[in-house]
Amino acid sequence: MFNLILFGPPGSGKGTQSEKLIEKYKFKHLSTGDLLRSEIAQQTPLGMEAKSLMDKGQLVPDEVVIGMISTALDANKDVNGFLFDGFPRTTAQAEALDKLLDFNKTSIGAVLFLQVPEEELISRMVNRAKTSGRSDDADENVQRKRLEVYSRDTLPVANHYRKSDKVVEIEGVGSVDDIFTSLSTIIDKKMSQSV
Ligand code: ADP
């Protein structure tokens, strides 16, 4: 089993690249953003609580997303590996994930960190707002807030995984296919090292 974290700021292309990676490697895709949007669509109490935070660019509480991930891990015992997208977003989430994986006798194989400059991120979110229908994409103040939360709470997650030498930085500007090729090259290398 090979598990991967696709890491990077909002708008760095995690969702786009995840779609291509799950097709190629048959990973089980776990995106906490998608899981939360599905709760919102079903109008569950959890979804309603999450929506008000997401619309402000704030994070949903750690225990909520950790619970969702724990449930998803239990429900998918026979997979090739997991691709975590948008999770972990805090050091506490990373520590919880390590424990959950350890309990299942597995671990993170690599953290691929997409590097994109801030102004490019804002322009991508502005563009995405035109088609995504996501209320958290539409407002520039919310976008700035998400980037601020990312720098404060999420960037430290990279340092957590640097301790075990798992982080590989990837240039996130360029064509979707070129970035996908870079990601695939690293994954193939890491996978061959892990067997
Ligand atoms: P993006 O594609 O911009 O990175 P996501 O779809 O991953 O955004 O997440 C959208 C929103 O959902 C976040 O701004 C946050 O409010 C919430 N969210 C998603 N994943 C997490 C998480 N792991 N921890 C806390 N909040 C989360």
Closest residue (by CA) to atom 16 of ligand 1? 54
Q: Is 83 left (phi over 0), alpha (psi -120 to 50) or beta?
A: beta
pLDDT above 90 for 137: no
Does the beta carbon of 18 lie inside 6 Å of ligand 1? no
Separation between Cα atoms, residue 84 and residue 35, nearest integer Å: 12
Whether residue 82 contacts residue 3, with contact meaning beta carbons closer than 8 Å, is answered with yes
Structural domains for the chain: 3-189 (3.40.50.300)
Among candidate residues 14, 37, 124, 166, the one labeled active-site is 14
State the chain's mean pLDDT as an integer: 95
Does the beta carbon of 72 lie inside 6 Å of ligand 1? no
Percentage with pLDDT > 90 across the chain: 85
pLDDT at residue 133, rounded to an integer: 79
Can you give the pTM of this predicted structure? 0.94
pLDDT above 90 for 134: no
Percentage with pLDDT > 70 across the chain: 99
pLDDT at residue 101, rounded to an integer: 97
Identify whether 134 is a catalytic site residue: yes
Q: Which is more confidently placed, 80 or 177?
A: 177
Instruction: pLDDT band for 46, please (50, 70, 90 cuts).
Output: very high
pLDDT at residue 135, rounded to an integer: 75
What pLDDT, in 10s, does the model give residues 51-103?
999 999 999 999 999 999 999 999 999 999 999 999 999 999 999 999 999 99
Instruction: pLDDT band for 129, please (50, 70, 90 cuts).
Output: confident
